[in-house]
Amino acid sequence: MELILDPGHGGPDPGAVYAGGTVKEEYLNLVICNRVKSLIENYHRVLLTRYWGKKEETSLADRVKMANGINGYMKADFFLSVHHNSFSDSNVKGFEVFYTAGNKNAAGFAARMYYNINKISQTADYKYNMREIKGSAGGLYVLNDFYITVPAVLIELGFGTNAEELAWLTCATGQITLSYAIARTVLEHFWEMQKGTF
Ligand SMILES: [Zn+2]
C-alpha cells in the first residue's frame, strides 16, 4: 500500500505561529510526519510531500497530484495531512479530524484515528479535549474530491495557542505518543483495506 503523508505548510508559509514566533506549525507538522514515516515504512510505501530544509512552496495542487498519480507518481492508496491548530481564544484546545465528505473509506479512517487518539489520551500524561470528526465537503482543498481522487483525511493535533497543549505538542513524549497513535491507525486501516473492508 502507498500513503502520501503531507506535513502542512512549509517553505515561505510557516502555518500557525506560536509562543511569540518561537514555534512554527510547519516544523511541528514535519516532526510528526517524519516519526510516523519511520514507524510504517517497513510495511508500506510512504512518501512525504515535502522535506526538511525545502525552501520553495509546496502548492496544495502539487500535494494532491502526488496522491492522484500525476507528475510521474503512482496513484496512492491514501492521503493524510498533518496540521496543528490555532485560535484567538487561548482557552480553546483539542484534537480534530476531517475527512472527504461522502467517502466511506476516509470516514472509516477518521473514526479509527479519533478512537486511537482518544485511547492514548486516556492513559497519557495529557488528556485531550476530543473535538469533532467532520466531513469536509469542499472547504479544505486537499480533502475536496473535485481535486483529490484517493481517500483523504486531515488531522489537527491540537492548539499551539493554548499553553498547556503547546507544552504537550512540543515535548518528545507528546510527539512520540501521537506518532504511535497515527502510525497504528494507518497500519490498522491499511490492513482493513487489504482485507477488502473498504
Ligand atoms: Zn495548518
**pLDDT score of 125 more than 90:** no
Residues whose CB is less than 8 angstroms from the CB of residue 68 and which lie 6 or more positions away in sequence, other chains included: 75, 76, 148, 149, 150
**pLDDT score of 137 more than 90:** no
Q: Tell me, in angstroms, the distance from the centre of ligand 1 to residue 196's CA.
A: 32
Q: Tell me, in angstroms, the distance from the centre of ligand 1 to residue 178's CA.
A: 17
**pLDDT score of 73 more than 90:** no
Question: What percent of the chain stands above pLDDT 90?
Answer: 89
Q: Tell me, in angstroms, the distance from the centre of ligand 1 to residue 9's CA.
A: 6
Domains identified in the chain and CATH numbers: 2-195 (3.40.630.40)
Q: Tell me, in angstroms, the distance from the centre of ligand 1 to residue 8's CA.
A: 5
